[in-house]
Structure formats: structure tokens, C-alpha cells
């Protein structure tokens, strides 16, 4: 569920003060790194470790081999013939 925070503050040096409940939700503590994704006048803040894992998983998903229908049918025929040969 989305959490909307209306009381985050921008300090004089551009630092953003996040409420404690947001820090707890994102499992962040002092000194942790965060990733900011800015697009279309919106900003998404993520725990950097979580973001890195997401990017790794997305990259691996793009490289996943997906056989076409003919390859699947050939594999099914091969397995069936092996079973019949037993």
C-alpha cells in the first residue's frame, strides 16, 4: 500500500528530512545509501540495496532463454519417446 508523507522537509543544504516511519518502512538508518529516481516531476526514493537487486533481477529476466513453440514441441516429443523406450 502506498504511503503518502506530507511532512518531509528540505533543509538549507538541500538535505531531505524523512519521518521516522518512512525510514522504518524502507529499513534505512543513518549513513545508508538511497537511490532517487526522478521522472515527470516525480521522485521515487528507494533503499539502494533494494534498487540494485531489482536492477539485477530485471537484467537477468531480459536474458532468460525462452524457447519458441516448435522447440517446446520437439522437447515434448523427445521426452515421450524416451518414456516409451523404457
Statement: residue 83 has pLDDT above 90:
no
Indicate the domain borders of the chain. 30-84
Nearest-angstrom CA–CA distance, 1 and 9: 23
pLDDT at 12: 93
What tens digit of pLDDT does each residue of 51-69 get? 888 888 777 666 666 777 8
Q: Within 10 A of 48 (CB to CB), how many other CB atoms are there?
A: 13
pLDDT at 62: 63
DSSP H helices in 27-67: 48-63
SS3 content of the chain, % helix, strand, coil (to 5): 45, 20, 35
Amino acid at each position: 500500500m502506498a504511503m503518502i508523507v506530507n511532512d518531509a522537509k528540505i533543509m538549507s543544504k538541500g538535505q531531505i528530512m524523512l519521518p521516522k516511519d518512512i525510514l522504518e518502512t524502507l529499513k534505512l538508518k543513518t549513513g545508508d545509501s538511497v537511490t532517487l529516481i526522478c521522472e515527470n516531476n516525480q521522485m521515487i526514493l528507494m533503499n539502494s540495496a533494494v534498487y540494485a537487486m531489482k536492477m539485477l533481477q530485471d537484467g537477468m529476466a531480459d536474458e532468460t532463454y525462452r524457447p519458441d513453440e516448435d522447440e517446446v514441441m520437439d522437447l515434448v516429443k523427445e521426452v515421450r519417446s524416451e518414456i516409451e523406450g523404457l
